[in-house]
A and B are shown apart, each in its own frame.
Chain A
Amino acid sequence: MYKIRIFLALMQMHMKKFFKEPAVIFWALIFPIAMSWLLGMAFGTKTSPTCSVGVLASSHSQWPSYFETLVHKKTPVKAKVIFHFFNEAQATTALKRGSILLYLDPKKDPWVYSFDLKNTEAMQAYLLLEQYHQYQPCDSRIIPLSSLGSRYIDFLVPGLMAMGILSSCLWGIGWSLIDLRMKKMLRRMGATPMPKWLFMVSHIVARLFFSGIEMVMLYLFAHGVFGMVMQGSFAGFLVLFFAGNICFSGIAILMAIRADNATVGNGLLNAVMMPMLFLSGIFFSYTNYPGWMHPLIKALPLTLLADGFRHILNEGFLLASILPTAGFLLLYGIVAMALGIKWFKWN
């Protein structure tokens, strides 16, 4: 009886600790459900896997209707293929952006498939299409794409660069501020004549430095191992890098305005980071999500930055072309920073 009472008292303590902390409730209950919903939207709710394929034809009329019929009805493999009709330049760009896995030219005999042989998803899409294709007596051949900017690694590295900046700023600034507040060091520093703005600027400049090192190392690695080359404007890259850092620094400061314990701090930072990591097309294209979500996804800062880096690294964008994206990122950052500094709690 005595031990049961102790056990019940301990259980009561756990329950109270759990339910009296809103952040814990968010993390334990709401966040997993939200993530399940998001990922379910991307992958789970479909009755069959979907792959996007480019077709070098001007419209459906030039595309053999039997092929779509085969795809949808005759094969035992229940996979859905979405066909996009492009000219070759458009198809190449779509491939670089990760919107399609491969493109094929049905006007050629035999049909010609173009994709990165090292991209396993593209290979699966090819095999799927070939399986359908067997229903018609027609040969095909593959042009392995290894040109710069069209491989999966070319899609991945700019995304990782953007993710690196996001992560560096949110943890390096956001967590650092929360940690200082938890230690009461923020309050202690606030009781000195140190200009508060200088304190914030020092965080941002430090992040620019650390993110810069990370970018250089990642690029040198991708260049050395995978032969990746920056095809667009270096100045444009620098502008985007700066704008990305300002953007996520502002968001980090805004996230750190009040939190004074690890649970809430972690929760806030992850609540900002995780949805962007899943939605913004870092590891796979956001075209997997339903079309109605695309405008929202494209407006996310991480999407803007990742797509901007891809435009410069893979598609050869020049400085002027990247300025609108950089402008939006700066706007996000400045607004978040202004609100963050206004509401920032030193005590």
Chain B
Amino acid sequence: MIDVIQVTKKYGDTVSVNNVSLKILEGEFVALLGPNGAGKTTLVEMIEGFQPPDSGAIYIDGKTWRRDAPALHRLLGISLQETKLIDKLSVYDTLCLFGSFYGEPKSRSDEVLEILGLSHKKNTCVTKLSGGQRQKVILGLSWIHRPKILILDEPTVGLDPNSRQELWTLLQAFKQNGVTLLLTTHYMEEASTLCERIVMMNQGQLVADGSLETLVATHGGLDKLFMSVTGRSFDV
């Protein structure tokens, strides 16, 4: 579904992503882990089409951003780090706005509200939502057009454990629809709860890639694996 082939990205003299290759199959839930500055966000942004690689190629469902941007916009549902919603709009208005970008009818916004469990907040202004509810709306924006691939960049950062658990439940429900998920996270528990495959980056390179069970069995736990490949504890 996602095929990253020998991709490199530099900012000045700093190599942010160094010759990375990664293949994600349809329906896979993949967690991308790594310490701050490992190159996770840069890699994800290249997959999302926000920036082109300096070298290498990225194919998503056989398409490239250069040739097939409109189709890829429909294929992907994305959630960026620290996105803030538009003040003054209600939850429903926000969903309808994004739904309109994909030609979705307004009834789709009601469906998404139902999925998110936010029907009772339909007409609430987004500024009046709790952090967890706001994050759910942001997830709803990425789900409004029924994408085949979800790319979520630290979707639960800063949330309390209950809100985080609610979002995980939602994402697990999405899995039933056959969606492919690429998730960057700082939470080991999130990676192990949601994803069956773990990819770890450090200093711009992939340093570990395997199924959750294999990596845990080989290294005695994700946190130990993280420590061994990065030299840092996971919460760095």
Interface residues of A (CB under 8 A from B): 180, 182-185, 187-189, 191-194, 347
Q: Which residue of B lies closest to A347 (CB)?
A: B50
The count of chain B contact residues (Cβ–Cβ below 8 Å) is: 20
Q: Looking at the complex, which one of B50, B70, B78, B85 makes contact with A185 (CB distance below 8 Å)?
A: B85
Q: Is A188 a contact of B73 with CB atoms below 8 Å?
A: no
Q: Is A192 a contact of B50 with CB atoms below 8 Å?
A: no
A187 to B76, alpha carbons, bound, how many Å? 14
Interface centre among B49, B70, B84 (most CB of A within 10 A): B84
Q: Is A191 a contact of B86 with CB atoms below 8 Å?
A: no
Sample of 29 A–B contacts (CB below 8 Å)? A183-B84, A183-B85, A184-B80, A184-B81, A184-B82, A184-B83, A185-B84, A187-B50, A188-B78, A188-B80, A188-B83, A188-B141, A189-B101, A191-B48, A191-B49, A191-B73, A191-B76, A191-B78, A192-B73, A192-B98, A192-B101, A192-B102, A193-B70, A193-B73, A193-B74, A193-B102, A194-B101, A347-B50, A347-B51
Name the A residues within 8 Å of B141 (CB-CB).
Answer: 188
Q: Which residue of A lies closest to B81 (CB)?
A: A184
Q: Is B101 a contact of A185 with CB atoms below 8 Å?
A: no
A66 to B51, alpha carbons, bound, how many Å? 77
A183 to B83, alpha carbons, bound, how many Å? 6
Q: Which residue of B lies closest to A182 (CB)?
A: B84
A130 to B181, alpha carbons, bound, how many Å? 85
- Give 3 nearest A-B pairs by CB, closest first: A183-B84, A192-B101, A194-B101
Name the B residues within 8 Å of A182 (CB-CB).
Answer: 84
Q: Give the contacts of B37-90 with A (CB-CB under 8 A).
A: 48-51, 70, 73-74, 76, 78, 80-86
Name the A residues within 8 Å of B98 (CB-CB).
Answer: 192
Q: Is A193 a contact of B86 with CB atoms below 8 Å?
A: no
Q: Which residue of A lies closest to B74 (CB)?
A: A193
A264 to B80, alpha carbons, bound, how many Å? 23
Distance from B105 Cβ to chain A, minimum over Cβ atoms (Å): 16
Name the A residues within 8 Å of B80 (CB-CB).
Answer: 184, 187-188
Q: Is A185 a contact of B74 with CB atoms below 8 Å?
A: no
Name the A residues within 8 Å of B70 (CB-CB).
Answer: 193
Name the B residues within 8 Å of A180 (CB-CB).
Answer: 86
A320 to B207, alpha carbons, bound, how many Å? 72
Distance from A345 Cβ to chain B, minimum over Cβ atoms (Å): 11
Q: Is A184 a contact of B84 with CB atoms below 8 Å?
A: yes
Name the B residues within 8 Å of A184 (CB-CB).
Answer: 80-84
A183 to B134, alpha carbons, bound, how many Å? 13
Q: Which residue of B lies closest to A189 (CB)?
A: B101
